[in-house]
Each structure stands twice: as structure tokens, then as C-alpha cells.
Amino acid sequence: MKKPVDAAGVAVRRAALDVLGRIEEEGAYANLATNAVLGRSDLADRDRHFVTELVFGTTRMRRACEHLVTRHRTGGMSPRVAAALRLGAYQLAFGGVAPHAAVGTTVGAAPKPARGLVNAVLRRVADDVAAGIEWPDLATELSYPDWIVTALTERLGADAATAALRTMNRAATTHVRDDGYVQDAASQRVVASVGAGPGELVLDACAAPGGKATGLAATGASVVAADPSPARVRLVVGNRDRLGLDLSVVVADATASPYRSGAFDRVLVDAPCSGLGVLRRRPDARWRIDADAPARLAELQVHLLREAARVVAPGGSLVYSVCTLT
């Protein structure tokens, strides 16, 4: 007699697979695609959290999951089917989901013509996991591009790099400010380090999406939040309005600032960077950055700092922050 289908479990995997499909087929960002899918979902809160865990985990551990499934599949397949296989492999190897539940619900969520294939491959992956996985190298085991492992090993040493890479594979802790804005503790420390206060004029030169700018505005300082992208400026405006803050938001390129020399008491340059220090929060970032990014972005940061130094007043302060390990 066939076991009854776990309809709720299938619905969770179907939502996760919808997000993974958007990431794969449209280049969508994991967090934005997850929010979009869950925004129209009637899943219970617990299931919504599980969808996020499945999407972020499968995306983060993509290389390792690919290694687990490729030995058991042959020929081409659609991106959606490949995503279903990775989703199942993640649950089996890293998600702590019982094999029968991981396989059954993922097969139920997979495209119907491919369910036989997904079932066969995931059952073999479950056997591999039970027997113990032999990884070909550290980059595959921890699911990073080779260049990231190499770069961090050269900079931090093998032991410290491995520890950092393992840590960045764990789900991030959520921190919520007193005003309800979700912002990690390190970002809040950057805001505090600016030392802004009432009566001061402060520039956040690279402000989007607005977390630090709204934090600065909450101190009572007069804050200008600038970003060169109109689309990203709209994110700042949305956060400002939601929090009910007095914050000036402008479209401006911080490498060629429109402001006069010495205009600001304090300037924050939260510079664009490779983001290697926040991979816990950005599961797809490791697959979006390339090996040339640190050097390329370092050159941009020099231009940003030169302009920031120009617009800060004599005796004022300039705070430079990045979220990377390179």
C-alpha cells in the first residue's frame, strides 16, 4: 500500500523550487525571489521559514549538491529539474531531513515528466550520504568557487580560512533594531562609529538600501543618503518612509560628488566590495562574484574615498567600511 503524500511538505518544496527556478532561469537574487514567492503564498509561518531555509541552503551549497547528483545522472535536463535534484540533495546531506521525507516531497514537487528520474537519483544520493561522502576537495565540500578558498587561505592561513568558510555556511542570526529594522550587529556598529548627532550634517555616500542611513537619521543628525542607482534609491525611500524618518535621499555618484568641498561634518563610505565577509546573509553572492572583483572594486573604493575626503569639513570625520575579508 502506498504511503499517503505529505501535501504540506510537497507545497513547501514546490515553493522552494519556484524560487530556485527563478534564480536559475532569470538570475534573480535569492532573498528577493524568496520574498516574492512567499508574498503570494498562504503557507503557515513555520512552512514559510522552512522554504527560506531550503532556498538559502540549496543555493549556498550548490557546488556540493551538484557533486552529489552528477555521478547519478546522465544527459541534459531542464534548469528546473536540475534545481529539484539539488534541492533534494541539500535536504539529504545538509538539511537534516529524513530520507523518505526529503525524497518523497521533492519528487512530488518536481516537474511531472521528470519525477521518475528525480526519485531514482535522490535515492542513490541518500545511499551515498548514509555510507559517508568522500569529497574531492575542500572547495567542493564547503561549496565555494576555488578562487575564494585560495584567496582566503593566502590571506588568513589554512586553518583560519577553513574556519571562516565553515562559519559562513551557517545561517545568519537575525538582529532587529529598536525601530524594527532588521540589521546585523556589524552594520549597527558601523553606524555607531560614525558618531553622528543632532545638529550635524552627515553624508551616507553609498546608502542603498538604507539601513545605515536610517540608523544615522535616528540619531537626530541631518542626513543625506546618496546612491547612483535610481532603483536602489527607491529602496532607501521605502525604508525611510516605513520608519517615518527625516532623511534626504538623492541620486548621486559618490565618485563625482555634486557637493561642495567641506560640506559635511561627517561622511560614511560603506563602499561596494566583494562581500566575502557576509556570505552567511547572501547565499548566492559566492556564485555572483568573480576572482577579479576584489581588485576591481578596490580601485573604485579609492575614487570614492578621494571624493569623500574632499566633501568632509576640516576637523570632521570620514568612516570607511566594507563587508569583506580581502
Which pLDDT tens digit goes with each residue over 216-246? 999 999 999 999 999 999 999 999 999 999 9
Q: Among 70, 103, 134, give the residue marking a domain's end.
A: 134
| Same-domain check for residues 235 and 296 | yes
Q: Among 72, 103, 134, give the residue marking a domain's end.
A: 134
Does 168 map to a domain?
Answer: no
Is 323 catalytic? The answer is: yes
| Same-domain check for residues 128 and 195 | no
| Same-domain check for residues 190 and 116 | no
More confident residue, 75 or 309: 309
Torsion angle in degrees (nearest 10) through CA of 116, 119, 120, 123: -170
pLDDT exceeds cutoff 60 at 322: yes
Helix (H) or strand (E) holding 296, with range, is helix 293-311
Which pLDDT tens digit goes with each residue over 277-298? 888 888 999 999 899 988 899 9
pLDDT exceeds cutoff 50 at 1: no
**pLDDT band, very low/low/confident/very high, at 5 (cuts 50, 70, 90):** low
Task: Give me the domain span that covers residue 42.
Answer: 7-134
pLDDT exceeds cutoff 80 at 28: yes
* CATH number, position 271: 3.40.50.150
Instruction: State the distance between the two ends of the chain, measured CA to CA, in whole angstroms.
Output: 57
Which pLDDT tens digit goes with each residue over 69-91? 999 987 788 999 999 999 999 99
Does this model's pTM top 0.85? My answer is: no
Does 270 map to a domain?
Answer: yes
The answer to whether 122 and 85 have CB atoms below 8 angstroms apart is: yes
Total domains, the chain: 2
Which pLDDT tens digit goes with each residue over 97-126? 999 999 999 999 999 999 999 999 999 999
Task: Provide the pLDDT for residue 222.
Answer: 98
Q: Which residues neighbour 210 within 8 Å (Cβ) at sequence distance 6 or greater?
A: 225, 235, 236, 237, 238, 239, 240, 247, 249
Gap between the Cα atoms of 16 and 34, Å rounded: 8
Which pLDDT tens digit goes with each residue over 42-71? 999 999 999 999 999 999 999 999 999 999
Q: Which of 65, 206, 273, 323 is catalytic?
A: 323
Gap between the Cα atoms of 326 and 310, Å rounded: 26
Which pLDDT tens digit goes with each residue over 124-170? 999 999 999 999 999 999 999 999 999 999 999 999 999 999 999 99
| Same-domain check for residues 124 and 251 | no
| Same-domain check for residues 206 and 288 | yes
Q: Among 134, 167, 198, give the residue marking a domain's end.
A: 134
- Alpha carbons within 13 angstroms on the beta-carbon side of residue 102 total 26
Task: Provide the pLDDT for residue 45.
Answer: 95
| Same-domain check for residues 210 and 121 | no
